Amino acid sequence: MEHYTKNIYIILILIFSFTIFSCAKKSDTSSTTTTTEVEGIWKTVCYLDSDDISYITTITVSGTDALETIEAHTDSSCANDWYKWDYSFSSLSIEDEVTFDDGTKGHKYTLNVASTNFTPQSSSYVSTLNSTSMCGYSDWTLNSSKDLAGVTCGAVTYNLKNTTGKGLYNLVGNNLFLGGFITTGSYPTTVSTEITYVKQ
């Protein structure tokens, strides 16, 4: 769990330790637009991260609300559940359009943290969480979530509710690519092209 918390907010979503990126040239417009082009459900295939943990990530956008569900699995085919994160966001606002080096386009965006729910899905993992009092709790139960917004878990403190983050996305047909979730400073300038979210 601690490994994952170090990486999670690099993605609305999102997040991950991959190294191939697409760079934005510049903002083309300065007006706010609607969330229409990212409305719906976006999902990855089962993928393996750098620590040999398999994930499936789903992002659901409805109006100005967004939900990112990250499911961790103990096998390479994502058949055996381990734990999942449900990151809820509100006040999604699509900002300036950007043009990337390859000519494709996307937008900057902002959103607010609504909740950060963690759910253990393995009995053995529940035992581990309780024996180590993970995040200060020793009453973890199977398939029951805890909202960890603002909570410190080891060396990681999760963002408080209503924290505003800045992000960047690149939309190519039915494929969505995401940049970082940044709560201080400027917008991210790159998106990861190693993880593809496909429109469902």
Q: By the 8 A CB rule, do 65 and 39 touch?
A: no
pLDDT tens digits along 104-114? 999 999 999 99
pLDDT of residue 5: 40
% of the chain surpassing 90 pLDDT: 78
**How large is the average pLDDT for residues 49-69?**
94
Which amino acid, one-letter code, is at 112?
Answer: N
**Residue pLDDT, tens place only, 9-29:** 333 333 333 333 455 544 445
The pLDDT value recorded for residue 23 is 58
Prediction pTM value: 0.85
**Choice among 11-20, 86-95, 157-166 with the minimum mean pLDDT:** 11-20
Q: Phi and psi for 59 in degrees, rounded to 5?
A: -120, 130
pLDDT at 2: 45
Each residue of 34-61: b (16+ CB within 10 Å) or e?
Answer: ebeebeeebbbeebebeeebbbbbbbbb
Q: Write down the mean pLDDT value for the chain.
A: 87
pLDDT of residue 84: 98
Mean pLDDT within 86-100: 97
Span 168-187, average pLDDT? 95
Closest CA to 65 of 113, 31, 8: 113
Residue 92: pLDDT band (50, 70, 90) is: very high
CB distance 166 to 110 below 8 Å: yes
pLDDT value of residue 50: 79
**Which pLDDT band holds residue 176 (cuts at 50, 70, 90)?**
very high
Label residue 113 exposed, middle or buried (CB < 10 Å: 0-12, 13-18, 19+).
buried
The residue among 24, 62, 57, 64 whose CA lies nearest residue 42 is 57
Residue 36 pLDDT > 50 = yes
pLDDT recorded at residue 172: 96
| Res. 145: pLDDT tops 90 | yes
What pLDDT is stored for residue 52 in this prediction?
Answer: 86
